[in-house]
Amino acid sequence: MDRLHDTAIDTATGQAAPSELSTERVKGIFSSIAGRYERFNALSSFGAYRRWLRTMMQQAPLDGNSDVLDIAGGTGDVSRMAARTFHPAHIQCTDLVPEMLEVAKAHRDHGDFDGVPVDFAVVDAQDIPYGDNTYDAVTMAYGIRNMPQRERALAEMHRVLKPGGALVCLEFSTPPNPLWRGLYHFYLHHLIPFWGKLVTGDSSGFVYLAKSIRAFPDQAGLAALMEEAGFRDVRWVNCTGGIAAVHVAFK
Ligand SMILES: C[S@@+](CC[C@H](N)C(=O)[O-])C[C@H]1O[C@@H](n2cnc3c(N)ncnc32)[C@H](O)[C@@H]1O
């Protein structure tokens, strides 16, 4: 495990790099766009963002008794959707960036969690401050790609899950069809920075988004990382021809 814990990459390139490089960049990006993040998602994905969240919920083995840990919960979209879909016993909504969680808390104050008890905490997924075997499920959308120590983060998620518990992970991925993949990569590199600048006034975070998606492992590669971290019975379903994928993995 120590070997895994020492591995860190630049999440924009996939190359070995000190963990601080990616962590500081990610903090800078998400703290500055927190207030406009949801609008960007809705516009840039032409609504696919909501559909993919629904696919994530269809795959999630949650119920009314579940204690759920939402990792990289951001502005709380996954936690809110889980609250409305399953009415779980409790959700711990966490993120590295306090400004993202402030938006999530405002949603809570508006009653958007349907009365489900939700707590919020600033947590680095690579060093989760909760005990072993605590949660029935871990949810994470668009989180692992931004983490420079992915094996370590996945091992931490495995540790805090109860035996039999599930990790449900939504992440950008690789369309298997070459034509669709080509079109998608064109969109990523030319149009995502344009949308980003239009909505947030700054394209640099969206250039990073495009690069990090290209540098991220494909469906089978992410499944292999999960297995290395100790997960079993890893499966995935593609969203919109593989632009994104929902992986489910068990402890
Ligand atoms: C693209 S957003 C996704 C937010 C939310 N899950 C959603 O679906 O809208 C990525 C989030 O990952 C968070 N993040 C990045 N690195 C992290 C880390 N090491 N630990 C926890 N959260 C992290 C960022 O702060 C950001 O809020």
Q: Which CATH number is 141's domain given?
A: 3.40.50.150
Looking from the CA of residue 148, the nearest atom of ligand 1 is 19
Nearest CA to ligand 1 atom 13: 72
Tell me how far apart the alpha carbons of residues 206 and 208 are, in angstroms, rounded to a whole number: 5
**Residue 141 lies in domain:** 2-250
**Residues 142 and 116: beta-carbon distance below 8 Å:** no
Q: Could you give the strand order of the β-sheet that contains 135-141, starting from the edge strand earlier in sequence?
A: 118-122, 90-95, 67-71, 135-141, 161-172, 244-250, 232-239
Please return the burial class of 134, using the count of CB atoms within 10 Å of its CB with bins 0-12, 13-18 and 19+: middle
Average pLDDT over the chain, rounded to whole? 93
pLDDT at 201: 75
DSSP state of 79: H
Rounded to two decimals, the pTM is 0.94
On the question of pLDDT at 46 being above 80, the answer is no
Looking from the CA of residue 126, the nearest atom of ligand 1 is 19
Length of the chain, in residues: 251
Looking from the CA of residue 72, the nearest atom of ligand 1 is 22
Nearest CA to ligand 1 atom 14: 72
Residues with CB under 6 A from ligand 1: 26, 30, 72-75, 77-78, 95-97, 100, 124-126, 141-143, 146-147
Using the structure block, give the residue that is written with the tokens 């006034």: 201
Separation of CA 68 and ligand 1 centre (Å): 16
**Residues 55 and 41: beta-carbon distance below 8 Å:** no
Tell me how far apart the alpha carbons of residues 181 and 64 are, in angstroms, rounded to a whole number: 38
**Residues 150 and 225: beta-carbon distance below 8 Å:** yes
| Total domains, the chain | 1
Quick one: pLDDT band at residue 37, thresholds 50, 70, 90?
Answer: confident
